[in-house]
Amino acid sequence: MTIEDATSGIDIASPTNGLSSQRPSISLSKSPSATYPRSPASKDASRWQRGNTAASAAKPLKPFATEDIKILLLENVNQTGRDILAAQGYQVDVLKTSLPEDELVKRIRDVHVIGIRSKTQLTARVLREAKNLIVIGCFCIGTNQVDTQYAAKHGIAVFNSPFSNSRSVAELVIAEVIALARQLGDRSNELHKGTWNKVSSGCWEIRGKTLGIIGYGHIGSQLSVLAEAMGMTVVFYDVVNLMALGTAKQVPTLETLLGAADFVTCHVPELPETHNMIGRLQFEQMKHGSYLINASRGSVIDIPALIDVMRSGKLVGAALDVYPAEPGGNGDYFTSDLNLWAEDLRSLKNIILTPHIGGSTEEAQSAIGIEVSEALVRYVNEGCTLGAVNMPEVNLRSLTMEEENHVRVIYIHHNVPGVLKKVNEILGDHNVDKQTTDSRGDVAYLMADISDVNASVIKDLYQSLEGLSSRIMTRVLY
Ligand SMILES: NC(=O)c1ccc[n+]([C@@H]2O[C@H](COP(=O)([O-])OP(=O)(O)OC[C@H]3O[C@@H](n4cnc5c(N)ncnc54)[C@H](O)[C@@H]3O)[C@@H](O)[C@H]2O)c1
């Protein structure tokens, strides 16, 4: 760490951020993880700060020049996300594709933020090279492609967007309820092959039918509203007691739901408890002539049991969007090599098979771009970890423009005994206006807002915290 006292303030340049200590004294940092005098860039307050009155306007915390923040976006991240990051003044490099590991190792060295989708593998080997990286944005739902544990242990937060596509899934399910009730898939396939087969037997309106929703979370509850608008009666089963929307009713057991519903649809997470949650016993409990829809996770349904119950004629239709094994890319992969029963499933009547497209809409991609890039901006500028997948979720209310000499201290540390005592010995001589801390596994995240702090104090605080053996990363924002 090079420390350079300048007349205008302190300049602390971390050797890891690629800066030369020869550069002239300036008043701004080139790294969001180092401490520098106040940025004049306060004018570009973040989007969520708009609307505050002048008196209580939230104070942007950016002791760095926003144009020095380097961001690498891979895999054609949605334009909405690029625009938000560019509007901050950050340097944003955009690539349409992913990068192979060797190339990634080179490109990641000098960036502070990386944005990826599902194809880029951020392994421990890649992250080891990422000396300046403070945060990763996964512009997608899953984070399996990132070594999130390694990232957390090195103070790198990871954000994703788990719920931006809930509406898209709910709409697909409504479409499937109607398509199954009217055997649309079969009629369409027949006509594609030249066969005119006009039938009404076994085809139904959905008005007045009962939809049974298993899992009344983001998707299940959206679906509930849409289904009622279509004239359906809605019952739901959830492990948590939840406020029903509209006239939907929560039922006490899964068995009750299965016995009542004409259409059963699954919207639970993948957990040991939800593995094969709908199997032979549950199919026995379902109504004769009912339908099953699964757009949650492939492991939730016992598919060989589904094949048997459809062949028996008890279930008269099903729609599956997710499977225990799914291919990594598009192509002719949906065969018995992928899932042993694939050919049997494909041979069934009135079954809609879709390739995990529940959340795949332009709107969802756009919403993901906004959600993830806003989380990145909040983390870089304010240190807020709400929504992070690998760090404790910590936030403090914003500092206001009236609180001039306040700083925000962020101390990411190993979760070991005695750290708080040592940190508070360092902070203790100052007026700590507010402080919060939380831990997740081996990593703890402390955030404190301190008042009446001058430039030399900032330097001391930073250095003292950096000197603790528990330190993973220190940031001081003001
Ligand atoms: N097909 C797609 O493209 C697609 C897109 C988005 C999400 N999903 C999947 O949809 C599922 C639901 O997503 P969400 O965003 O609504 O999740 P969510 O976390 O908002 O809701 C899940 C609900 O399930 C309930 N639940 C958990 N365990 C349960 C159990 N054993 N029995 C009954 N209820 C239980 C929870 O209490 C919660 O209310 C997830 O598996 C998710 O991965 C699929």
pLDDT tens per residue, range 293-340:
999 999 999 999 999 999 999 999 999 999 999 997 899 999 999 999
Q: How far is the CA of 169 from the centre of ligand 1 (A)?
A: 11
15-29, 372-386, 453-467 — which one is most confidently predicted on average? 372-386
- Alpha-carbon gap, residue 431 to 404, rounded angstroms: 14
Does residue 297 have an active-site annotation?
Answer: yes
Task: Indicate whether residue 269 lines ligand 1 (CB < 6 A).
Answer: yes
Listed as own residue / partner, the contacts of 98-102 with beta carbons closer than 8 Å and 24 or more positions apart are 98/74, 99/74, 101/125, 101/126
- Name the band, by pLDDT with cuts 50, 70 and 90, for residue 66: confident
Average pLDDT in the 221-249 region? Answer: 98
**Strand order in 431-440's β-sheet?**
431-440, 443-451, 407-414, 471-477
pLDDT surpassing 70 at residue 9: no
The strand pairing partners of 73, in sequence order, are: 94, 115
- Among 46-60, 158-172, 398-412, 432-446, the least confident range: 46-60
Contact 411, 474 (CB under 8 A): yes
Share of the chain above pLDDT 90, in %: 78
- Alpha-carbon gap, residue 98 to 123, rounded angstroms: 14
Contact 462, 476 (CB under 8 A): yes
Residue ranges and CATH numbers for the domains of the chain are 3-163+363-477 (3.40.50.720), 167-353 (3.40.50.720)
Task: Indicate whether residue 160 lines ligand 1 (CB < 6 A).
Answer: no
Average pLDDT in the 424-442 region? Answer: 92
Q: Using most ligand atoms within 8 A of CB, pick from 267, 294, 300 the residue to mutate for ligand 1.
A: 267
pLDDT the model gives residue 458: 86
Q: Which DSSP symbol is given to 335? A: S
Average pLDDT in the 3-15 region? Answer: 28
The HSE-up count of residue 295 (CA atoms within 13 Å, CB side) is: 29
CA 377 to each of CA 135, 139, 140, 372: distance values in angstroms, whole numbers, following the listed order:
10, 14, 17, 9
Indicate which atom in ligand 1 lies nearest the CA of residue 277. 31
- Name the band, by pLDDT with cuts 50, 70 and 90, for residue 422: very high
Structure tokens at 231: 């004239």
| Comparison of pLDDT for 478 and 224, the residue scoring more | 224
Does residue 101 have an active-site annotation?
Answer: no
Q: Which are the contacts of 43, defined by CB distance < 8 A and separation ≥ 6? A: none
Vertex 447 angle, CA 445 and 448, to 5°: 150
Indicate which atom in ligand 1 lies nearest the CA of residue 216. 39
Q: How far is the CA of 238 from the centre of ligand 1 (A)?
A: 10
pLDDT surpassing 80 at residue 55: no
Nearest CA to ligand 1 atom 3: 358
Task: Indicate whether residue 295 lines ligand 1 (CB < 6 A).
Answer: yes
Does residue 393 have an active-site annotation?
Answer: no
Q: What is the pTM of this model?
A: 0.82
Vertex 12 angle, CA 10 and 15, to 5°: 160
Q: Which string of b and e fits 238-276 if b means at least 16 CB within 10 Å?
A: beeeeeebeebebbeebeebbebbbbbbbbbeeeeebee
Task: Indicate whether residue 268 lines ligand 1 (CB < 6 A).
Answer: yes
